């Protein structure tokens, strides 16, 4: 889902990051608040004040979304679900789950916590706004507090729409899951609601666009397209998980992978291995013993004029949990490691010995065949 991420801070051991797309939305929110929302409600402020209000309003929205996703993550942790962190992107934020919720009950409580947290935060901001009016807070401060109360209620209402993967769609999925005990079926139905809602928003955006509300029209259209795509991808992810679950890595691995010795020069590696086999990753084996691995990434860090003199042993990476799995490892876990580390090949190791290589291509080929047979 995400491209380049920027890590910001950690809270309760959850890494909070922003996708580069969030920078665009932060600037857009600040601009729209500074030139539209606040000037229409509070007259005769200096232009600089409107921009300050816009900046603080955008910051408050950022923290509100983090709080919303943090509540999701804390409930997920309570149910034993591993979380990668929280990432904000162009259309909001997401608590990154390593896997699907373990039960319909867990799904329900995780989903409902988000909107409830936004409602509570909205009341908090609204209460401070009222106290500010009573105690004579500056009007710009009051304006920002009122906006933050309203926007959190709006976030809660939007997220309660029963359109997967919105929180309301996850609540719907949990109820369907509980009823039929079938996660795939529940995801398919709730995803159809999500796609339908996305189509509705896209159509509404087109109507707004051609009736003169250009900015609103564009945003409705983009959000609608995003929801359609997210609903489809979420259903596909469930199908992938169901296809791989319970399948051992040994069923997919290549038991006779191409290996390279640590004494080989970087230049020879490039000419005789990378260019010949078109792999981006090679196990390094000496005398039958696995030493580690070498990838294109390590090669790129060495100046080309040093390729002839430098050896693989100078830059090879040792074996670790980020590049190895056991042959009885669940294929779903292997796919999760690939996704987390952005690697398409993993070494299969038993007793310190290399027994094979498992690739993303092989996993995807199996998934395709299994889906065709289903």
- Measured over all CA atoms, what is the biggest interatomic distance in the chain, rounded to whole angstroms? 80
CATH annotation of 249-373 = 3.10.580.10
Q: How do residues 94-144 score in pLDDT, each as one tens digit?
A: 666 666 788 889 889 999 999 999 999 999 999 999 998 888 888 999 999
The yes-or-no verdict on residue 251 having pLDDT over 90 is: no
The lowest-confidence range among 213-217, 255-259, 273-277 is: 213-217
Q: How do residues 295-335 score in pLDDT, each as one tens digit?
A: 888 888 889 898 988 999 888 888 888 888 888 888 888 88
Per-residue pLDDT, 374: 59
Instruction: Find all residues with CB under 8 Å of 70, minimum gap 6, and list them.
Output: 11, 12, 14, 86, 95
Identify which has the larger pLDDT, 321 or 265: 265
What is the C-alpha separation between 14 and 22, in angstroms, rounded? 19
326, two tokens: 């056991």
Per the listing, tokens 């009950």 go with: 105
- pLDDT tier at 373 (50, 70, 90 boundaries)? low
Q: Count Cβ atoms below 10 Å from residue 323 Cβ, excluding itself.
A: 20
What is the C-alpha separation between 292 and 259, in angstroms, rounded? 10
Per-residue pLDDT, 126: 93
Percent of the chain with pLDDT over 90: 26
The domain locations on the chain are: 5-244, 249-373
| Cα dihedral 47/53/58/63 (nearest 10) | 160
What is the C-alpha separation between 117 and 155, in angstroms, rounded? 10
User: Stretch 335-347: mean pLDDT, rounded?
Assistant: 81
The yes-or-no verdict on residue 93 having pLDDT over 70 is: no
Per-residue pLDDT, 109: 93
What mean pLDDT is reported for the chain?
85
The yes-or-no verdict on residue 2 having pLDDT over 60 is: no
Q: How do residues 67-79 score in pLDDT, each as one tens digit?
A: 998 888 889 888 8
The yes-or-no verdict on residue 5 having pLDDT over 80 is: no
What is the C-alpha separation between 133 and 124, in angstroms, rounded? 14
Percent of the chain with pLDDT over 70: 94
User: Stretch 40-46: mean pLDDT, rounded?
Assistant: 86
Per-residue pLDDT, 95: 65
Per-residue pLDDT, 91: 58
Spatial CA neighbour of 98 closest among 111, 112, 85? 85
In sequence order, what are the beta bridge partners of 11?
A: 14
Per-residue pLDDT, 1: 45
Global pTM exceeds 0.85: no
User: Stretch 137-153: mean pLDDT, rounded?
Assistant: 93
User: Stretch 246-252: mean pLDDT, rounded?
Assistant: 82
The lowest-confidence range among 162-176, 262-276, 341-355 is: 341-355
Per-residue pLDDT, 220: 84
DSSP states of 246-304 as a string?
Answer: T-BGGGT-BSS---B-TTSBHHHHIIIIIHHH--SEEEEEETTEEEEEEEHHHHHTS-G
């Amino acid at each position: 889902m995400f491209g380049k991420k920027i890590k910001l801070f950690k809270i309760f051991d959850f890494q909070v990051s922003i996708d580069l797309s969030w920078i665009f939305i932060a600037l857009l929110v600040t601009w729209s608040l500074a030139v539209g929302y606040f000037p229409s409600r509070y007259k005769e402020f200096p232009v600089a004040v409107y921009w300050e209000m816009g900046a603080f309003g955008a910051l408050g929205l950022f923290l509100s979304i983090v709080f919303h996703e943090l509540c999701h993550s804390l409930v997920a942790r309570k149910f034993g679900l591993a979380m990668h962190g929280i990432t904000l992107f162009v259309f909001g934020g997401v608590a990154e789950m390593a896997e699907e919720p373990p039960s319909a009950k867990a799904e329900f409580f995780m989903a409902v916590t988000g909107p409830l947290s936004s409602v509570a935060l909205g009341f908090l901001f609204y209460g401070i706004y009222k106290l500010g009016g009573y105690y004579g807070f500056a009007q710009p401060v009051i304006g920002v507090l009122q906006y933050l109360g309203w926007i959190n209620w709006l976030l809660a209402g939007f997220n309660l729409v029963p359109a997967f993967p919105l929180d309301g769609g996850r609540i719907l999925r949990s109820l369907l899951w509980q009823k039929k005990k079938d996660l795939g079926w529940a995801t398919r139905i709730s995803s159809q609601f999500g796609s339908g809602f996305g189509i509705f928003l896209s159509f509404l955006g087109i109507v707004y666009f051609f009736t003169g509300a250009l900015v609103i029209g564009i945003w409705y259209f983009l959000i609608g397209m995003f929801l359609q795509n997210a609903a489809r991808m979420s259903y596909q992810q469930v199908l992938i998980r169901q296809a791989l679950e319970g399948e051992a890595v040994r069923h997919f691995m290549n038991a006779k992978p191409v290996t390279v010795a640590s004494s080989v020069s970087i230049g020879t590696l490039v000419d005789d291995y990378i260019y010949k086999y078109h792999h981006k990753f090679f196990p390094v084996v000496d005398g039958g013993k696995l030493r580690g691995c070498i990838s294109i990434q390590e090669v790129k860090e060495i100046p080309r004029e040093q390729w002839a003199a430098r050896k693989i042993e100078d830059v090879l990476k040792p074996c670790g949990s980020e590049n190895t799995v056991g042959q009885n490892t669940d294929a779903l876990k292997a796919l999760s490691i690939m996704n987390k580390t952005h690697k398409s090949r993993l070494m299969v190791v038993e007793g310190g010995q290399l027994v094979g290589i498992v690739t993303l291509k092989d996993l995807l080929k199996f998934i395709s065949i299994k889906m065709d047979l289903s």
